[in-house]
Chain A
Amino acid sequence: MSLYKNLNKSTQKLLGTIGVILVLYIVMSIMEGTGNLSSLMKGLLVPVCAYSLVAVGLNLCVGYLGELSLGHAGFMCVGAFTSAFFSRATQEIIPDVPRFILALLIGTVMAALFGFLIAIPVLRLKGDYLAIVTLAFGEIIKNVINVMYVGVDSKGMHFSIKDQMSLGMDLDGKMLINGPQGITGTPRQSTFTIAVLLLILALVVVNNFVNSRTGRAVKAIRDNQIAAETVGLPVTKYKLVAFTLSAAIAGVGGVLYAHNINSLTATTNNFGYNMSIMILVYVVLGGIGNFSGSVIAAVVLTMLPEMLRGLSTYRMLIYSIVLIVLMLFNWAPAILKWREDHGLTTAAIVSKFKKKEVR
């Protein structure tokens, strides 16, 4: 206990979050082992982790870099497609485990690379302008993937941006990326264990990052760029580092997503602006700059529409209303004040549990 107390506040908080995730993981695993977990929940475990990862990535960008990115679904998309492409292309050549590790690395590195390249022009802008440009880049990524046709046959790789026929493949060839129909037949390798491990890893990385020398510099730039420049901080470098890391984490989420579903397509709903906005909603609802909040928000908002299936077509309406209510409950000043008066703030609730622990 004293060891725990000696740690600084942010590390304590991180350990708390990891502890909660681990407890949930163990509960879910036991429920699955004893057959008490419904198929729906089982099917949602990996997507929930994937969305949480992307939300954590975006939170780094929004909360610590202080820049609103509306293109994070694009980085998720890059991670998903590059890794799925690799897995599909080498399905017969490399055994399962090393292939997945390589796919994970490739997906992450490619997302980071795209994040870096896009950040160079984007970070010259600020605020609303930056948001619009990231939105545009997200759409560009999605649309470029939608015109790519890649196939492989005995003669080697074929590539086209027109249609499947212009590849001129042999009959025995297989399509790797079939334009808007995406990648079909990705091996299903994301498991809940891997997803949870990656989520914890990402939380540790971002937590260490924001409290590191670089992280402090990033926060200084966020709070006052001119002041940061005057003390001699290389602003561009730190911004690039933070944005690239943010994109890389979104890429990991994409890799998990891609290896959890047989057919991967880039549509507006899963990798377009709809998704980008959805991720932003996770971040804002969970609290800007609060990583564990992002995870909770991602879990709740992914589960909610599925839990509301019983309401049939009304669930979309109810979902929106619940979203509004949650947002108000968490962030409306008057409600925050009311919660404070009645001891219902998160801090107050957590401190009550802490007292219990001590006893």
Chain B
Amino acid sequence: MKKKALSLALCAAMAASLFVGCGGKEGAATGGESVDTSGELTWRVGGIGPITGGAAQYGQGVMNAIQLAVDEVNEAGGINGYKVSFNFQDDEADQQKSVNAYNTLKDWGMQILEGTVTSGAGQAVSAETYADRMFMLTPSASSTDVTNGHDNVFQVCFSDPNQGAVSADYIADNGLATKVGIIYDSSDPYSSGVYQTFAAEAQAKGLEIVATEAFTADSKTDFTTQLQKCKDAEADLLFLPFYYTEGSIVLTQANQMGYTPTMFGVDGFDGLLGVENFDVKLAEGVYLLTPFAADADDDATKSFVSKYESQFGGTPNQFAADAYDGVYILKAALEAANLTPEASSEEICEALISEIQNVTYDGLTGEGMTWNEKGEVSKAPKAVIIKDGAYASVD
């Protein structure tokens, strides 16, 4: 009888713990929340990005930068007199996880989403936000599939087609090369998006593409095969539209092979100089596109970089800069719309869609940014070259 009672009690406890778990989840704060809201009316801004897994460094940069901006905004009196609370959820750069993260944020009471960090997750989440009428401003999901057909989604970064075309124009107009080799990550929408527009524009500009080599997320540690093929095809410029971690490996391996073409990266190469155990001398003469340089001289950048370094350690990259700008863009649009957090997320969404198109914003990643109804930002990618271990403008 004793055993029976014990087992029943244990069963009951198990069942109860399940329900307690559910109940706690719905109402109370989650771990990602940063500002103590304790009943006070605040703007509820959510963020989604990978803070674990392979793409964690981008998500963490975005999370830290939004936190920094939100703290600044709150210190200066908030938006329209109300403070901002911020909640960031992990998505491991996976679509399903990203939708789960979005639903978690909705339960938290999110009114505006500043996310997602990666394009693949962004495509899945933008369909959800579109159906729910939730305003979405993505700092770094640059694929056009994120904004296509979704009037509520806007980008802080420039879109992929933009980058590919600018790169091809720049190479052709400045006569950097005649034979171009391309290595790209075919499993990444960002990388293949840039590659596609680059190839199309290169053809129009009369650049000869002698080698096109792809790799995937599963095989991004060894590029000797791809480099050898480009070398055999006698490419004198390598176009490398992917992120800087792989970029550092490509540069190191090309150096070991004694292959020295001009290297041309896009905005993903921003951060190259901060890679650990990477000989920055190899990056000399590398071209890249970036809207943001961490060692720029203007006061806004200086203050952002020093605050970021002291609070989180490490140098912020352009993802972080885009995310930081995102908060102030939202602030500007919300102030223009003259809204209060009492408005529902649908009302905020409709108001912001029209207001953000009237906003002109000067930030870390560009001057006079404006947005069109497609959700794209009007800032031009700028080419820089790495000289003496620092970015130098080439114009």
Residues on A with beta carbons closer than 8 Å to the beta carbon of B175: none
Classify chain A's interface size. 35 or more
Pairwise interchain contact A47-B25, C-beta atoms closer than 8 A = no
Pairwise interchain contact A312-B192, C-beta atoms closer than 8 A = no
Pairwise interchain contact A344-B7, C-beta atoms closer than 8 A = yes
Residues on B with beta carbons closer than 8 Å to the beta carbon of A261: 95-96, 99, 124
* CB of B199 within 8 Å of the partner chain: yes
Residues on B with beta carbons closer than 8 Å to the beta carbon of A268: 217-218
Pairwise interchain contact A265-B120, C-beta atoms closer than 8 A = yes
A309 → B minimal CB distance (Å) = 6
* CB of B260 within 8 Å of the partner chain: no
In the bound assembly, the distance between CA atoms of A185 and B150 in angstroms comes to: 11
Pairwise interchain contact B192-A270, C-beta atoms closer than 8 A = no
Q: Which of B1-35 contact A (CB under 8 A)?
A: 3-4, 6-8, 10-11, 21-22, 24-26, 30-32
Residues 40-70 of chain A, each 1 if its beta carbon lies under 8 Å from chain B, else 0: 1111100100000000000000000000000
Instruction: Identify the closest chain B residue to A43 (Cβ).
Output: B103
In the bound assembly, the distance between CA atoms of A40 and B192 in angstroms comes to: 32
Pairwise interchain contact A270-B7, C-beta atoms closer than 8 A = no
Residues 86-102 of chain B, each 1 if its beta carbon lies under 8 Å from chain A, else 0: 00011010111001111
Residues on A with beta carbons closer than 8 Å to the beta carbon of B92: 269
Majority secondary structure, B binding face = helix
Residues 176-208 of chain A, each 1 if its beta carbon lies under 8 Å from chain B, else 0: 000111001100100000000000000000000
Contacting residue for A343 out of B3, B96, B99, B107, CB 8 A: B3
Pairwise interchain contact A179-B192, C-beta atoms closer than 8 A = yes
In the bound assembly, the distance between CA atoms of A79 and B330 in angstroms comes to: 41
Instruction: Identify the closest chain B residue to A50 (Cβ).
Output: B96
Query: Of B37-45, B182-190, B356-364, which binds chain A?
Result: B182-190
Residues on A with beta carbons closer than 8 Å to the beta carbon of B106: 39-40
Residues on A with beta carbons closer than 8 Å to the beta carbon of B126: 262
* CB of A320 within 8 Å of the partner chain: no
Classify chain B's interface size. 35 or more
Pairwise interchain contact A165-B200, C-beta atoms closer than 8 A = yes
* CB of B52 within 8 Å of the partner chain: yes
* CB of A310 within 8 Å of the partner chain: yes
Q: Given A40-B104, A47-B96, A263-B123, do A352 and B8 touch, yes or no (CB 8 Å)?
A: yes
B220 → A minimal CB distance (Å) = 12
Residues on B with beta carbons closer than 8 Å to the beta carbon of A11: none
Residues on B with beta carbons closer than 8 Å to the beta carbon of A316: 52
Residues on B with beta carbons closer than 8 Å to the beta carbon of A102: none
Q: Which of A146-175 contact B (CB under 8 A)?
A: 146-147, 163-165
Contacting residue for B7 out of A42, A307, A342, CB 8 A: A342
Pairwise interchain contact A262-B128, C-beta atoms closer than 8 A = yes
* CB of A38 within 8 Å of the partner chain: yes
A285 → B minimal CB distance (Å) = 16
* CB of B352 within 8 Å of the partner chain: no
In the bound assembly, the distance between CA atoms of A44 and B200 in angstroms comes to: 41
* CB of A3 within 8 Å of the partner chain: no
Pairwise interchain contact B95-A40, C-beta atoms closer than 8 A = no
* CB of A306 within 8 Å of the partner chain: yes
* CB of A34 within 8 Å of the partner chain: no
* CB of A267 within 8 Å of the partner chain: yes
Pairwise interchain contact B186-A180, C-beta atoms closer than 8 A = yes
* CB of A1 within 8 Å of the partner chain: no
Q: Which of B95-148 contact A (CB under 8 A)?
A: 95-96, 99-104, 106-107, 120, 123-124, 126-128, 143, 145
* CB of A20 within 8 Å of the partner chain: no
Pairwise interchain contact A352-B30, C-beta atoms closer than 8 A = no
Pairwise interchain contact B30-A309, C-beta atoms closer than 8 A = yes
Pairwise interchain contact B31-A312, C-beta atoms closer than 8 A = yes
* CB of A94 within 8 Å of the partner chain: no
Residues on A with beta carbons closer than 8 Å to the beta carbon of B200: 165
* CB of A140 within 8 Å of the partner chain: no
Majority secondary structure, A binding face = helix
Residues on B with beta carbons closer than 8 Å to the beta carbon of A309: 30-32, 89-90, 101, 104
Pairwise interchain contact A39-B196, C-beta atoms closer than 8 A = no
Contacting residue for A42 out of B24, B103, B195, CB 8 A: B103
* CB of A326 within 8 Å of the partner chain: no
* CB of A349 within 8 Å of the partner chain: yes
Residues on A with beta carbons closer than 8 Å to the beta carbon of B128: 262
Residues on B with beta carbons closer than 8 Å to the beta carbon of A2: none
In the bound assembly, the distance between CA atoms of A267 and B214 in angstroms comes to: 16
* CB of B221 within 8 Å of the partner chain: no
Residues 316-331 of chain A, each 1 if its beta carbon lies under 8 Å from chain B, else 0: 1000000000000000
In the bound assembly, the distance between CA atoms of A176 and B190 in angstroms comes to: 18
Residues on B with beta carbons closer than 8 Å to the beta carbon of A44: 100, 103
Q: Given A47-B96, A349-B7, do A181 and B216 touch, yes or no (CB 8 Å)?
A: no
Q: Which of A231-274 contact B (CB under 8 A)?
A: 257, 261-265, 267-270
Contacting residue for B124 out of A163, A179, A263, CB 8 A: A263
Residues on A with beta carbons closer than 8 Å to the beta carbon of B348: none
* CB of B272 within 8 Å of the partner chain: no
* CB of B51 within 8 Å of the partner chain: yes
Contacting residue for B31 out of A180, A181, A310, CB 8 A: A310
Pairwise interchain contact A342-B6, C-beta atoms closer than 8 A = yes
Residues on B with beta carbons closer than 8 Å to the beta carbon of A188: 127
Pairwise interchain contact B216-A146, C-beta atoms closer than 8 A = yes
Pairwise interchain contact B7-A348, C-beta atoms closer than 8 A = yes
In the bound assembly, the distance between CA atoms of A307 and B214 in angstroms comes to: 38
Q: Given A40-B103, A306-B100, A307-B21, do A180 and B192 touch, yes or no (CB 8 Å)?
A: yes
Instruction: Identify the closest chain A residue to B101 (Cβ).
Output: A309
* CB of A313 within 8 Å of the partner chain: yes
A247 → B minimal CB distance (Å) = 22
Instruction: Identify the closest chain A residue to B104 (Cβ).
Output: A40
Pairwise interchain contact B3-A342, C-beta atoms closer than 8 A = yes
Residues on B with beta carbons closer than 8 Å to the beta carbon of A43: 99-100, 102-103
Closest 6 CB pairs of A and B: A262-B127, A263-B123, A180-B187, A43-B103, A39-B103, A39-B106
What are 16 A-B contacts with C-beta separation under 8 Å?
A38-B25, A40-B100, A40-B103, A40-B104, A40-B106, A43-B99, A163-B186, A163-B196, A165-B200, A261-B99, A262-B128, A310-B25, A342-B3, A343-B4, A349-B11, A352-B4
A interface residues, Cβ below 8 angstroms from B: 38-44, 47, 146-147, 163-165, 179-181, 184-185, 188, 257, 261-265, 267-270, 306-307, 309-313, 316, 342-344, 348-349, 352
- Known A184-B145, A257-B96; 6 more pairs at CB < 8 Å: A38-B26, A40-B106, A165-B196, A180-B186, A269-B92, A313-B52
